[in-house]
């Protein structure tokens, strides 16, 4: 029986998920691959012992023990973060080992250097687990949808942010309270910045865009806004107009330039993305051949992520066994065909908008505000004005037709400068299926 030897760096949640998966699926993988896929060595700085079921696995606190083990074919990096993960991965590549990683932050920030090193050293890099947890989304882009020009990507890529928005929607609770609950229940990290401010989503979008378009997209190319400013009142108004608020990664392929943005988005309630709740992820692609495709599943978690890492290990294992390393280019396109992106400036973005203006309840306010929108070429589709107690400011909610972001910025600067406006206007972009 042939054997594929795997070394693991990082024995945290996902590392344990991979180790458990390879053990539990041992017979099934042998029957599918025609070889034993064996985890032979684990390194983790905090490791002192291994659970009994892994008694045949060597372990140490030093990643070099994995990196220098000549028997190891594939190094799996699951420690996350930039360093030392980056050094470990580059060391593995330079010693001719294949690499599997779930590290989206690293790939979105230093992918170019890492992929170049892999090409130079003729090794493979698998990163299915970096986006969408156990959903085989990377494979879909690189292989299943290979005969497509991808025209649009829309996705819910961060389970924590989606969990928080779902809780806010279901219970009408404010962001801060829901976040605290989520942290207490283990659904959000102690430092939730990456999740709630859209940074993690931007990392993942950079990876998807690179594969979809054959462009070197980095996290710096992506305009990113988080969900911490969303108030329950916006969720209520969204519902009143037939929308749900979701943190979406959005990209549109305009050919000469591509949109790249992460922000809270109003999604029509009958759209599939509006109904992805809790910690689940979903990614929608529009291909010129296939039309709309949506992939849904758990976007994180020990076992779901373990499933994706194990699939990469098997994929590379099959290439080792059949002598077909780099059978599919790591970035979907051959390196010589990968270009530099031209990102659509946000000011040139066109979409429908939701505005919530907070103003004193005085005669002529609505006329003044709608006048400014009109002067800025923003056409209003519907308005709700709700008075509450006298003396209190009112919320004037306006839904626009397609409008230019530059015009919106100009209008809001003027509106927010009015004496009668008592708080900055809330602006939320609306998902529109017009792909051009």
- Note whether 370 and 355 are within 8 A (CB): no
Q: In the complex with its own copies, which residue's Cβ is closer, 114 or 129?
A: 129
Residue closest to 16 by CA, chosen among 40, 50, 48: 50
Binding mask of the shown chain, residues 86 to 125, with x at each position contacting its own copies by CB under 8 A: ----------------------------------------
Do strands 2-9 and 35-43 pair parallel, antiparallel, or not at all (unpaired)?
A: parallel
- Segment 145 to 164, residues that bind its own copies, using CB under 8 A: 145-149
Among 10, 14, 19, 21, binds its own copies (CB under 8 A): 21
Q: How many residues are there in the chain? A: 436
Provide, rounded to whole angstroms, the least separation between the CB of residue 88 and its own copies: 23
Q: DSSP assignment, residue 140?
A: I
How far is it, in rounded angstroms, from Cα 203 to Cα 188?
18
Shortest Cβ distance from residue 51 to its own copies (Å)? 18
Q: Within positions 129 to 148, which residues make up the interface with its own copies, using CB under 8 A?
A: 134-136, 139-140, 143-148
CB of 424 to its own copies, least distance (A): 36
Residues 6+ apart with CB under 8 A from 242: 268, 269
Nearer to its own copies, 7 or 198 (CB): 7
| 112 versus 139: smaller Cβ distance to its own copies | 139
Q: Map tokens 């462009």 to a residue.
A: 215
Could you give the CA distance from residue 402 to residue 150 in angstroms, rounded to a whole number?
23
Question: Which residue number, 241 or 333, has a Cβ lying nearer to its own copies?
Answer: 333
CA pair distance 271, 277, nearest whole angstrom: 13
Residues 154 and 157: their CA atoms lie apart, in Å, by 9
Considering only residues 272 to 291 of the shown chain, the ones binding its own copies according to CB under 8 A are 272, 275, 287-291
- Asked if 382 is part of the footprint of its own copies (rule: CB under 8 A), the reply reads no
For 144, the token pair is 């299943």
Catalytic residue among 86, 204, 246, 427: 204
Number of residues that bind its own copies (CB under 8 A): 61
Give CA separation, 274 vs 246, 247, 416, 435, in Å: 7, 10, 30, 18
Query: Minimal distance in Å, beta carbon 316 to its own copies?
Result: 12
CB of 310 to its own copies, least distance (A): 4
Residue 396-435 contact track with its own copies, rule CB under 8 A, x = bound: ----------------------------------------
156, 276 contact by CB (below 8 A):
yes
Complete DSSP assignment for 68-83: T-TT-SEEEE-S-SST
Residues numbered 292 to 351 that lie near its own copies (CB under 8 A) are: 292-298, 301, 303-304, 306-308, 310-311, 314-315, 318-319, 321-324, 327-329, 332-334, 337
Q: Which residue has the tokens 């929608």?
A: 284
Q: How near is the Cβ of 293 to its own copies at its closest, in Å? A: 4
Is the preceding peptide bond at 373 cis, omega within 30 degrees of 0? no
Question: Binding its own copies by CB under 8 A: which of 4, 6, 19, 29?
Answer: 29
Tokens of 42: 């684990």
Separation CA 187–CA 164 (nearest Å): 9
Closest to its own copies by CB, 29 or 227: 29
Question: Can you tell me the distance from the alpha carbon of 340 to that of 258, in angstroms, rounded to the nearest whole number?
Answer: 11
Q: How far is the CB of 307 from its own copies (least distance, A)?
A: 4
Q: Which is nearer to its own copies, 300 or 411 (CB)?
A: 300
CB atoms within 10 A of CB 107: 25
Chain positions 180 to 219 lying near its own copies, rule: CB under 8 A, are 214
What proportions of the chain, in percent to the nearest 5, are helix, strand and coil? Answer: 40, 25, 35
For residue 210, the minimal CB distance to its own copies (Å) is 13
Closer residue to its own copies in complex, CB, 146/348: 146
Per the annotation, the verdict on 204 as an active-site residue is: yes
Give the residue from 82, 10, 186 showing the smallest Cα distance to 90.
82
Query: In this complex, which beta carbon is closest to its own copies, that of residue 295 or of residue 360?
Result: 295
SS3 325: coil
Active site members? 204
* Site for its own copies, rule CB under 8 A: 21-22, 24-25, 28-29, 31-34, 128, 134-136, 139-140, 143-149, 214, 272, 275, 287-298, 301, 303-304, 306-308, 310-311, 314-315, 318-319, 321-324, 327-329, 332-334, 337
């Amino acid at each position: 029986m042939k054997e594929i030897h795997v070394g693991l760096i990082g024995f945290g949640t996902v590392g344990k998920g991979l180790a458990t998966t390879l053990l539990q699926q041992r017979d099934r993988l042998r029957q599918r691959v025609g070889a034993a896929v064996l985890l032979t060595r684990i390194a983790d700085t905090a490791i002192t012992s291994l659970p009994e079921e892994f008694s045949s696995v060597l372990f140490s606190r030093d990643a070099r023990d994995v990196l220098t083990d000549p028997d190891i074919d594939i190094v799996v990096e699951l420690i996350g973060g930039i360093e030392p993960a980056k050094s470990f991965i580059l060391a593995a590549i330079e010693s001719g080992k294949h690499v599997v990683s779930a590290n989206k932050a690293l790939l979105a920030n230093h992918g170019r250097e890492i992929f170049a090193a892999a090409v130079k050293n003729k090794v493979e890099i698998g990163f299915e687990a970096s986006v969408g947890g156990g959903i085989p989304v990377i494979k879909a882009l690189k292989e299943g949808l290979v005969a497509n020009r991808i025209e649009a990507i829309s996705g819910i890529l961060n389970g924590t942010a989606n969990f928080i928005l779902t809780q806010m929607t279901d219970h009408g609770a404010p962001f801060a309270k829901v976040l605290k609950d989520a942290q207490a229940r283990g659904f959000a990290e102690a430092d939730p910045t990456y999740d709630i401010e859209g940074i993690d989503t931007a990392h993942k979008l950079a990876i998807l865009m690179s594969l979809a378009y054959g462009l070197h997209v980095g996290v710096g190319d992506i305009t990113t806004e988080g969900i911490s400013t969303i108030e329950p009142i916006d969720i209520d108004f969204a519902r009143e107009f037939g929308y749900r608020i979701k943190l979406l990664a959005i990209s549109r392929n305009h050919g000469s330039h591509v949109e790249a943005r992460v922000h809270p988005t109003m999604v029509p309630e009958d759209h599939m993305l509006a109904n992805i709740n809790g910690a689940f992820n979903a990614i929608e692609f529009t291909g010129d051949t296939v039309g709309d495709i949506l992939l849904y599943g758990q976007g994180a978690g020990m076992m779901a992520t373990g499933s994706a890492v194990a699939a990469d290990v098997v994929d590379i294992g099959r290439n080792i066994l059949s002598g077909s390393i780099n059978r599919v280019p790591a970035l979907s396109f051959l390196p010589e065909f990968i270009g530099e992106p031209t990102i659509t400036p946000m000011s040139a973005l066109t979409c429908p908008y939701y505005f919530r203006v907070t103003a004193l309840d005085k005669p002529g306010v609505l006329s003044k505000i709608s006048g400014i929108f009109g002067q800025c070429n923003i056409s209003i589709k519907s308005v709700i004005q709700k008075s509450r107690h006298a003396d209190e400011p009112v919320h004037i909610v306006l839904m626009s037709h397609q409008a230019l972001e530059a015009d919106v910025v100009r209008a809001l600067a003027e509106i927010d400068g009015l004496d009668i406006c008592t708080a900055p206007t809330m602006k939320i972009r609306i998902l529109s299926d017009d792909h051009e």
